[in-house]
Amino acid sequence: MTNSNLSIRQWLSACGGFGLKPGERKFQVRVSAITLLWAITYVGASKLLVADPAPLVAALAIAIPIAISIWMIQAYLSLLSNMDEFMRGLQLEAIAWSFAIGLIALMAYALLEQIGLPPLTSNDAILLMMVAWVAGQLSTFLRHR
């Protein structure tokens, strides 16, 4: 099978922690669930803060996604510590690609803003780095399957 013939099942396997042992999958499910919870609270907080809420509500809207993101990082580190060396290497490579792509794209866009493109928001940067991380995971999957 060539890389261009990647099946939907293989793609979903790559996104969902291909090559993980059954014991590692529970950590992947935990990370995915917490990440989804973080995304929901982050979007909710963003929408709520636009409405200029009372100070206590605003503080909670900011604190809750931050607390969940710390929990998400802890869950991801637990996942990494339960992976074998090869799988940790794949994750490291995906993170490295994400950082490099994000850094280069954001620096390039900062220059493009100087010639009139609209400024990016931090949400744009977050989305770019997340998409680059998924692309890095898929790339390592395709090379090592």
- Stretches in the chain below the pLDDT threshold 50: 1-4, 6, 11
Answer yes or no: do 91 and 128 share one domain.
yes
The pLDDT of residue 4: 47
- Per the confidence metrics, is the pTM higher than 0.85? no
**pLDDT digit string, tens, across residues 29-64:** 888 899 899 989 999 999 999 999 999 999 999 999
Predicted pLDDT at 55 = 95
Q: Do residues 101 and 66 both lie within one domain?
A: no
Q: Which long-range contacts (CB under 8 A, 24 or more apart) does 39-45 make?
A: 41/65, 41/68, 42/69
- The DSSP code for 117 is P
Domain count, the chain: 2
Per-position b or e across 83-115, b if 16+ CB within 10 A of its CB: beeebeebbebbbebbeebbeebeeebeeeeee
Q: Is residue 46 situated within a structural domain? A: yes
What residue numbers bound the domain in which 104 lies? Answer: 85-145
Residues 105 and 139 placed together within one structural domain of the fold:
yes
Give residue 63's pLDDT. 97
